[in-house]
A and B are shown apart, each in its own frame.
Chain A
Amino acid sequence: MIKGKVIKYGNNVDTDVIIPARYLNTSDPAELARHCMEDLDPTFVGRVNAGDVMVAGRNFGCGSSREHAPIALKASGISCIIAETFARIFYRNAINIGLPILECPLAAQEISEGDEVSVDVNTGIITNHTTGKVYQGEPFPEFMQQIIKSEGLINYVRERMGQK
Chain B
Amino acid sequence: MGMTMTQKILAAHAGLDKVEAGQLIMADLDLVLGNDVTTPVAIKEFNKIGADGVFDKNKVAIVPDHFTPNKDIKSAQQCRLIREFAHHKEIANYFEIGRMGIEHALIPEQGLAVPGDVIIGADSHTCTYGALGAFSTGVGSTDMAAGMALGKCWFKVPEAIRFNLTGKLQPWVSGKDVILHIIGKIGVDGALYQSMEFGGEGLASLSMDDRFTIANMAIEAGAKNGIFEVDQQTLDYVKEHSTKEYKVYSADEDAVYTRVIDVNLSEIKLTVAFPHQPDNTRTIDQAGDIAIDQVVIGSCTNGRIEDLRAAARVLKGRKVHPRVRTIIFPATQKIYLQAMKEGLLEIFIEAGAAVSTPTCGPCLGGHMGILAKGERAVATTNRNFVGRMGHPESEVYLASPAVAAASAVTGRISSPEEVVL
Contacts and interface: CB of A to CB of B under 8 A. Distances in A.
Contacts of B49: 154, 157-158, 161, 163
Interface in A15-73: 16-17, 20-22, 24-27, 38-40, 58-59, 62-68, 70-71
Given A27-B40, A85-B192, A88-B224, A154 B138 contact: no
B376 interface: no
A136 interface: no
Interface string A80-110: 0000010111001100110000000000000
Contacts of A27: 40-41, 44, 78
Interface residues of A, number: 43
Nearest to A42: B392
Nearest to A157: B146
Given A27-B41, A160-B150, A67 B392 contact: no
Contact of B146 (A64, A67, A153): A153
Contact of A89 (B48, B50, B51, B140): B140
Contact of B387 (A20, A62, A160): A20
A22 to B, nearest CB: 6
B189 interface: yes
Interface in B127-152: 138-143, 145-146, 149-150
Contacts of A71: 41
B14 to A, nearest CB: 13
A100 B386 CA distance: 26
Interface string B136-180: 001111110110011000100000000000000000000000000
B139 A65 contact: yes
Nearest to A22: B365
Given A59-B192, A89-B139, A21 B365 contact: yes
Interface in A111-164: 141, 143, 152-154, 157-158, 160-161, 163
Nearest to B34: A65
A67 B192 contact: no
A30 to B, nearest CB: 14
B50 A163 contact: yes
A157 B149 contact: yes
Contacts of A38: 392
A31 to B, nearest CB: 10
Contact of B385 (A16, A25, A160, A161): A16
Contacts of A67: 38, 41, 122, 140-142
Given A14-B385, A24-B37, A153-B142, A62 B392 contact: no
Given A59-B188, A88-B192, A65 B388 contact: no
B17 interface: no
Interface residues of B, number: 51
Contacts of A88: 192-193, 222, 224
Interface string B37-73: 1101100110011110000000000000011000110
B264 interface: no
B387 A64 contact: no
A93 B224 contact: no
B364 interface: yes
B140 A59 contact: no
A17 B364 CA distance: 12
Contact of A58 (B41, B74, B142, B189): B189
A153 B153 CA distance: 11
B386 A39 contact: yes
B366 interface: yes
Contact of B383 (A40, A63, A66, A153): A63
Contacts of B124: 63-65, 89
B410 interface: no
Given A59-B192, A93-B142, A160-B150, A65 B122 contact: yes
A161 B124 CA distance: 28
Interface in B305-326: none
Contacts of A65: 38, 121-124, 126, 138-140
Contacts of A157: 49, 146, 149-150
B24 interface: yes
A161 B148 CA distance: 13
Q: Which of A67, A85, A96 has the most CB of B within 10 A?
A: A67
Given A22-B365, A161-B150, 15 more contacts: A16-B385, A17-B386, A25-B75, A26-B78, A40-B386, A65-B138, A66-B37, A66-B38, A66-B140, A87-B189, A88-B192, A143-B154, A153-B146, A157-B150, A163-B50
8 contacts: A20-B365, A24-B37, A85-B189, A88-B224, A89-B219, A157-B49, A157-B146, A158-B50
